[in-house]
Structure 1
Amino acid sequence: MPVLDRFFNSTELSRQWRTGGEPMPFPMGSLPSYQAGTLACELPEMIRMVKLIRMSSSELRGTKHRGILESEDTLDGLSGDARVRGQTVVLSERRGSYPYIDFRLLNNTTHSGEIGTKKKVKRLLSFQRYFHASRLLRGIVPQASLYLLDEDYLGQARHMLSKVGMWDFDIFLFDRLTNVMVQEDYHNQNPYHNAVHAADVTQAMHCYLKEPKLASFLTPLDIMLGLLAAAAHDVDHPGVNQPFLIKTNHHLASLYQNVSVLENHHWRSTIGMLRESRLLAHLPKEMTQDIEQQLGSLILATDINRQNEFLTQLKAHLENKDLRLEDAQDRHFMLQIALKCADICNPCRLWEMSKQWSERVCEEFYRQGDLEQKFELEISPLCNQQKDSIPSIQIGFMTYIVEPLFEEWARFTGDTPLSENMLSHLRRNKAKWRSFLHKQHSSSRSNDHSGQVTENEEQTLNEGDIP
């Protein structure tokens, strides 16, 4: 049975929407239980389904023209939380509107669109040549559709997929074993925000959806939305952050009025994929619009600038004990929290994997800082390789962002083995970064014989102490 038919019954959905029922796929009494082993076998097919959302670029028209599928009259009220159901039209960005950063624009020497088109064509041709050659070498005639995972991938990868529900799942090893092709709408030149990160977040989300406190209430549509939002939450990421787009007057910053610029772009690009693929074309229009809005609400929740907003709300719910997961709104809020946890869960992984992620994200920061320095722009926080070390960045990130969120997540789940495992990894990893930071400071003091630690360094050391 096709994966979407297993996630929700389109006939039943259509009937409920026509009769004005609750916009959820099944009454709570008839929900199939979300057992621990169920989604493990669904995830590989879900990954292939997400791939199929994207049509081959050869089937698209007009990708050389950047822009919007809908009328610009719909620009009013773009930003903000998409949970507002009153908005009937969701703006989508044209697939292929990858926010290419043409740094020569900073010198006013050329137009960015031309170069972006050349890079896209080169990337597409390179992908097609690889795909064609690799399959011909094995005596296989290539088909029109391109799949994220080749159907005859190695037995080792198949074995790994059977363990996809385990927290210690090694996404880097899985990437090597499967030779997963980086998708056109994620960009492999990004050290961190690439397809491997998307897969890692999706795998983490899969683990969180199995937590008993949440799993027993989830509908099939909730599961599909959670996994789809995880897979697409950073689609088309340019490898630079929002402040960079704003200060370089990027068209996305203007389009989204400097509010959740990247997250809005990821959401609207995802909507473009869904509409072009017609994956949801069999559903009633009202439900399709609701799915688009819920996807937007989930993806927009990953904006790190909204961290305190969500953390405060979660704490209030847990203190008041007023979460009612039977209600669609509360389930959706916890899906937002789960996605936020999945997006920043790297410090909660085993040290060997966590360290790789830390180095990758800092490399992306440093690349942005080098570009800002090259074009005489103010270097963004955390992007100065000479001042911002990996240990100090990671200690601050764990202290102020990761720990507060995951401690509240553990309160929600009830200190399950997964939550205890994640917090244990988090504290051990933080201790290792602290030891590296102490070594750096000791080396620095011995070199300059001053014995002085800067005020910022001392603050980082104090704040990095293990609770």
Structure 2
Amino acid sequence: MEVCYQLPVLPLDRPVPKHVLSRRGAISFSSSSSLFGAPDPRQLSQRRGAISYDSSDQTALYIRMLGDVRVRSQVGFEPERRGSHPYLCVDFRTLHSRGETVGPVSGRRVHRLFSFQRHLHTSRLVHSATTCSHNPLHILDEDYLGQAKCMLEKVGSWNFDIFLFDRLTNGNSLVTLTFHLLNQYGLIELFQLDMVKLRRFLVMVQEDYHSQNPYHNAVHAADVTQAMYCYLREPKLSKSLTSCDILLGLLAAASHDLDHPGVNQPFLIKTNHYLAALYRNTSVLENHHWRSVVGLLRETGLFSHLPAEDGLNMERQLGSLILATDISRQNEYLSKFRLHLDQDDLCLGNASHRHFILQMALKCADICNPCRPWELSKQWSEKVTSEFFQQGDIEKKHKLEVSQLCDSQTNTVGDIQIGFMTYVVEPLFSEWARFSDTRLSQTMLGHLGLNKASWSGLRAEGSLDESEPDPDPPPEPVSGQGPGPCLGSGPATATAAEEPTTRTLAQGSQEF
């Protein structure tokens, strides 16, 4: 049976090496000369993990034949450490240049180290898995530091501090959290997942997030996964979802932004990136995230023990969930959700309806930052704005049209967040509260209102500081008013009608 998303095979001028064909599908990092010749090891190690802008015809044919591909060939170079992707150092003058073929290098197998403590820990994993047959999950405790383990006992709390958890796990929050949740639901035993394969898969997922991205990194993926878990525990979902639904929901959350380059789709289109052409300028990043995780699943063989049709079905459903996070399709999903709620025809006994609710849950988890407590929400707001401004700086440097929200001279964090909350977050979470009217939903809407008020107040204070260098001290707040202790020094109320520029900012946010 042919996979529905596999592209047709196109002829090449020369055959593709067999060892390349056996590798996983993800992003390509090399030019045609690198694919079929002998690349320079240092050049490959610098390029691997960062987006390639090569657009040669032969490379395009190669990519179309295999799909979205990152080659892990057997050439002699060391895989990079997590976070070494030098995307922002790309010289735009060489975007479409062919790499030069250099002399041959001695071939040796590149080993992917799939544990935190390298080979030592790998040996311990295998040894423990074979000697502890009566309790194969016991080895999980070895990776948990005391404080991190205590935090996992409250992983269902909406106040869960993912930044602290990431520090306690030494930057391994995504692996630790996802492994814990899969184990907590009993999914590892239920689906008979190989422990070493699962650990390797999760580490590779975490590794393929770019840690130099201020926002779209592994910590964001861990935060979305934790939020997804909170939604899966809501009464309507917990009573209806199957184990397969839960497994797909957690894996989709963990991998929904896999290999995100830190720039948006319009940037890829206007720089003539091959991914934009490959996916015809439609859900470019989301398609790439999906193909990347499918490649990892196949490389690790995580589902290889399942019947072939079941494995393909899991891959397709993962794709459907990840593609739903395309924020440019926000109104499409929201209108469908609203129509279901108006007609009261959602039946969670229906597999397609359950899948749709999983899509909406993942969409909520992906943009739930404005609904977190102020201390967490403010950090996320600053990080995503920093990533926007980084893209704007690149565009200015290379004389490209600056994308909306990406100009640090005309936008502020407060303006961007108020627009985003008003026109994107509030409509979605209001409908989610109609579907699942629980304490969690009301808590999220409460934080959203208070955070919006805080940004409005900070924006007003900034305007006041600019116009009046020495203003009189503000009056003492009346007891019971204001944003409360969790909001710090935010304002008490939000404006009833937002400025016209805010709507423009909100519209621009849908490009990301």
Instruction: State the TM-score, normalizing by the size of structure 1.
Output: 0.70
Q: How does 1:360-371 map to 2 (within 5 A)?
A: 360-371=383-394
Shift of 1:267: 0.1
Task: State the partner residue of 2:317.
Answer: 294
Q: For residue 326 of structure 2, what is the amino acid of its counterpart?
A: D
> Quick one: which of 303, 306, 314 aligns to 2:329?
306
Paired residue for 1:200, among 217, 223, 236?
223
- Please state if 1:338 is matched with 2:361: yes
Deviations 1:33-75 (A, max 9, x none): xxxxxxxxxxxxxxxxxxxxxxxxxx9699865799xx97996
Distance 1:259 1:445 in 2: 45
AA aligned opposite 1:347? P
Mapping of residues 314-353 of structure 1, within 5 Å: 314-353=337-376
Question: Equivalences for 1:14-413 in 2 at 5 Å?
Answer: 91=67, 93-94=69-70, 101=87, 104=90, 106-108=92-94, 111=97, 131=117, 141-143=120-122, 151-181=142-172, 183-413=206-436
Q: Which letter does structure 2 place at the counterpart of 1:250?
A: H
Aligned with 1:151: secondary structure? Answer: helix
How far the C-alpha of 1:93 sits from its partner, in A, is 3.5
Shift of 1:194: 0.4
- Give the aligned residue type for 2:277: S
AA aligned to 2:150 is H
Shift of 1:442: 2.1
1:1-53 deviation digits (Å, cap 9, x = unpaired) = xxxxxxxxxxxxxxxxxxxxxxxxxxxxxxxxxxxxxxxxxxxxxxxxxxxxx
Matched, 1:445 2:467: yes
For structure 1, the 5+ residue unaligned runs are: 1-58, 77-89, 115-123, 136-140, 448-455
Structure 2 unmatched ranges of 5 or more: 1-21, 36-59, 74-83, 101-109, 127-139, 175-205, 470-496, 506-512
Identify the structure with bigger relative contact order (alpha carbons < 8 Å, sequence gap 6+). Answer: 1
CA contact (8 A) 2:114 2:122 kept: no
Tell me the CA shift for residue 150 of structure 1: 8.4
Q: Percent identity?
A: 57
Shift of 1:94: 3.5
Structure of higher CA gyration radius: 2
Q: Give the CA deviation at 1:251.
A: 1.5
Whether the aligned pair in 2 keeps the contact of 1:301 and 1:336 (CA below 8 Å) is: yes
Contact 1:101 1:112 in 2 (8 A): no
The answer on whether the counterparts of 1:66 and 1:94 sit within 8 Å (CA) in structure 2 is: no
Name the SS of the counterpart of 1:143 in structure 2. Answer: helix
Partner of 1:3 in structure 2? none
Q: Once the 2 structures are TM-superposed, how far is the Cα of residue 100 of structure 1 from its aligned partner?
A: 7.4
- Other structure's SS at 2:290 match: helix
| Distance in 2 of aligned mates of 1:146 and 1:101 | 34
Separation (CA, whole Å) in 1 of partners of 2:274 and 2:503: 41
Q: TM-score, normalised to structure 2's length?
A: 0.65
Alignment pair present for 1:430 and 2:456: no
Counterpart secondary structure, 1:387: coil
Distance 1:329 1:419, change over 3 A: same
Q: Deviation at 1:443?
A: 2.6
| Aligned-partner Cα distance in 1 for 2:323–2:311 | 18
| Distance verdict in 2 for CA 1:348–1:66, change over 3 Å | farther
2:472 maps to which residue?
A: none
Deviations 1:163-211 (A, max 9, x none): 1011111100101111124832011100000000000000000000011
TM-superposed deviation, 1:445: 3.2
**Contact 1:217/1:325 (<8 A) preserved:** yes
CA deviation after TM superposition for structure 1 residue 145, in Å: 9.0
Q: CA RMSD in A?
A: 3.7
Q: Is the 8 A contact 2:24 2:298 kept in 1?
A: no
> For 1:330-378, what per-residue CA distance to the aligned partner results, in whole angstroms no more than 9, with x for missing partners?
0000000000000000000010000000000000000000000000001
Residue 443 (structure 2) aligns with: 421
Partner of 2:192: none
Question: 2: distance between equivalents of 1:65 and 1:318?
Answer: 48
Which segment drifts farther, 152-161 or 425-434? 152-161
CA contact (8 A) 2:158 2:230 kept: yes
> In structure 2, how many angstroms separate the alpha carbons of the residues matched to 1:61 and 1:111?
25
Mapped to 1, the partners of 2:386 and 2:448 lie a distance apart of 21
Distance 2:445 2:222 in 1: 22
Partner residue, 1:459: 500
Instruction: Give how far 1:290 is off.
Output: 1.0
CA distance in 2, matches of 1:431, 1:290: 44
1:106–1:248 Cα contact (<8 Å) kept: no
Tell me which residue corresponds to 2:197.
none
